[in-house]
Amino acid sequence: MGRHGEFGCLRSRLDEAITYGTKTEAVRLANKALKKAKQENIFAEIEYFKGQIQILKENFNSAIEHFDAAIRYNPKDGAAYNDRALCMVEIGIIDGAFEYFDKGISAEPDYATIYHNKGWLLNNIGRHTEAMVYFKKALKLEPGRAVTYDNLADALYNLEDYKGALKAYRRVIVLLKPGRCPGIKKQIKNQIKHLEKKLNGY
């Protein structure tokens, strides 16, 4: 189904709910999407949203089985490879996760989220310079991704590029939707203050 159409919209809304919303909101959207996929008898989407529901229940091995089925039905579904990789991270299979991120990039090279998540994993395991390459690829495809600027800022901070990190954090504040994520905005504003003090020698 790719990034387009009604299921693409449902996937996008679900991704936003998982990233910036509540678990209750995410579960509601995943169930709504699954119901619609069943009504339309689209097996790839049925398996994909079953996988999402299992992730929300933290049943990562079960989620992997559904994403494998989704991939069999639609080998070009970058999100299914991406989410399988994230499940592998959760159960500690890091090298395998990179393999599935790369498979997803090959399957759907214009899908920004998969570059973001590969960058997120690289950053988490201390490979900050490599991570930045993938964050920048994600932002080239989708310039309004607040979550990617947030992670880019973290990578820049880890590399002691405090000016770059400050610029990226300020971009996050601009991009976050009004009224959304007050807790995250507060954390980022605190980080901005910390960096401003650091750069001013306080």
Tell me, yes or no, whether 5 lies in a domain: yes
Say if residue 146's pLDDT is above 80: yes
Tokens of 201: 């020698």
Tell me, yes or no, whether 28 lies in a domain: yes
CATH of the domain at 7: 1.25.40
Q: Is the pTM of this model over 0.85?
A: yes
Tell me, yes or no, whether 66 lies in a domain: yes
pLDDT digits (tens, 9 = 90+) for 108-127: 999 999 999 999 999 999 99
Rounded to whole angstroms, the Cα distance separating 54 from 101 reads: 19
High-pLDDT (> 70) share of the chain, %: 98
Tell me what the mean pLDDT of segment 120-147 comes to: 97
Rounded to whole angstroms, the Cα distance separating 190 from 153 reads: 13
Tell me, yes or no, whether 41 lies in a domain: yes
The pLDDT assigned to 111 comes to 94
Helices (H), the chain: 5-20, 23-40, 43-56, 60-73, 78-90, 94-107, 112-124, 128-141, 146-158, 162-175, 182-199
Tell me, yes or no, whether 67 lies in a domain: yes
Which class for 4: exposed (0-12), middle (13-18), buried (19 or more C-beta within 10 A)?
Answer: exposed
Residue 3 DSSP SS3: coil
The pLDDT assigned to 1 comes to 42
Tell me what the mean pLDDT of segment 150-177 comes to: 95
Rounded to whole angstroms, the Cα distance separating 97 from 31 reads: 26
Label residue 183 by pLDDT band (50, 70, 90): confident
Say if residue 26's pLDDT is above 70: yes
Q: Cα dihedral angle (188, 194, 195, 197), rounded to 10 degrees?
A: 150
Range of the domain at 40: 1-90
Tell me, yes or no, whether 109 lies in a domain: no
Label residue 4 by pLDDT band (50, 70, 90): low
Specify the number of domains making up the chain. Answer: 1
